[in-house]
Amino acid sequence: MKHIRHLALCLLLALSLMTSAFAAEVPEELVVENLNGQQRLVKTYVLSPEVDPDTLKEPPFDYDGFTYTWAYTTKEEQPYLNTKAVTETVTVETSSDDLTDVLAALAPSIPYDDGEYVGELALDHTTLTTVAAGYTTKYGTVSETKVISNLDRNDMSYVPATTVKDGRTLSLAGVEWQVTGTDLVGETLSPSSWQAVATYTASTSWQAATGYVTTAEYHGEVVSEGIESVTYTVVYTGAETVPADGEKPFGSGSGFFAGLADSPLLAIGAFMLLALAAGFGVLLFTRRKNVYVYIPGDKPRDYKLVAKFRADAKYPSIDLRKTEPYPAGVVAVEVKRSLAKELVGQNFTVQCQEGDYVYVVLRGDGDDWHEFNVDTLTPIT
């Protein structure tokens, strides 16, 4: 009976701590310290910018003989800055294919904004391609004029009925006779030489463009920037818990706990309830991520977290193939201490789009860190 009573009391204490843990975000780190004579409990969270930091502030709570009260919260933002090259294709219509008209219809630069990346793209003149938008049939007349000189009379037999121009046969449309010389016959001047000015025509048709379509490419580098995550440090100061005068210590023979200790059925019921709560706590713990994946940041020895995984010691591997965005170049894999100490000397597999990368976990007394090039599957030494 005495053992059941002590077990029930311990489980009730664990439940009180678990209740506060489930009500808030899970901290990345929890430190209890005595700094210059002041008892402190410090919780560190790494959260998305959308999280309200006021939800991290807990009401006063007891822990290990101290009552902790919220003192202050600090905030540190981790910004990100990503760039990428972008090409946009633009189409314009013009009435002619003259380069001056085409360039007048194209802007020297255009803005780019896909909701994540923004920037300015410049026109690449070497990419211009102009084609006819369509064709229509047009009709007209082809004409040719011929002068036939040194004729002794204005006789139509001297004038050909047809002529050829650019491979097309034209028909005689009219003749103008002109006197080019005269002779004195008696006392009268009479024409002695003539020339014929003959006009030839023919109907023609051709295909003419209805307009022109030009495609052009704009190139540029666009930027995506913002806050990737925020590190909140929540500090609580502690005061030693002292029972009020006349109150019995926790677990003494009065009140609820005394009734619990004196009633086996109540103790067993409390034990089952708390065991269920503890089971939920264990389930939550077993699902925590234990493998982090990073890529190099903008500064030396600065890394950016891109993915978290839960790996099993029986099947030590993670799958990067569906990571969005998929990393390129150098990738760092951090196996957390809880898993690393079980895998020392064993192979760890990283499934990549280029193939599987396998390496040996070397460290078990802390987080194991390994870098490799995901494009070539070669280690970084």
pLDDT in tens, 239-248: 998 765 555 5
Cα dihedral 322, 324, 328, 334 in deg (nearest 10): -80
Cβ–Cβ contacts within 10 Å for residue 285, how many?
10
Rounded to two decimals, the pTM is 0.43
Give the least confident one: 10-14, 182-186, 347-351.
10-14
177 & 107 share domain:
yes
46 & 167 share domain:
no
221 & 85 share domain:
yes
Q: How far apart are CA 69 and CA 58, in angstroms?
A: 8
Give the least confident one: 122-136, 248-262, 354-368.
248-262
Under 8 Å between Cβ of 85 and 219 = yes
Q: Please, which pLDDT band fits residue 365 given cuts at 50, 70 and 90?
A: confident
130 & 181 share domain:
yes
Q: How far apart are CA 152 and CA 114, in angstroms?
A: 86
Q: What is the mean pLDDT of residues 233-243?
A: 89
258 & 296 share domain:
no
Give the least confident one: 38-42, 53-57, 187-191, 231-235.
187-191
Cα separation values, 257 from 9, 245, 261, 269, Å:
7, 19, 6, 13
41 & 171 share domain:
no
Q: How far apart are the first and last CA of the chain?
A: 61
Range of the domain at 119: 80-227
* Number of compact structural domains in the chain: 3
Contacts of 113 (CB under 8 A, 6+ apart): none
335 & 371 share domain:
yes
pLDDT cut 90: percent of the chain above it: 67
Q: How far apart are CA 124 and CA 110, in angstroms?
A: 12
85 & 222 share domain:
yes
In DSSP terms, which residues pair with 79 in a beta bridge? 227
Q: Is the pLDDT of residue 250 over 90?
A: no
103 & 208 share domain:
yes
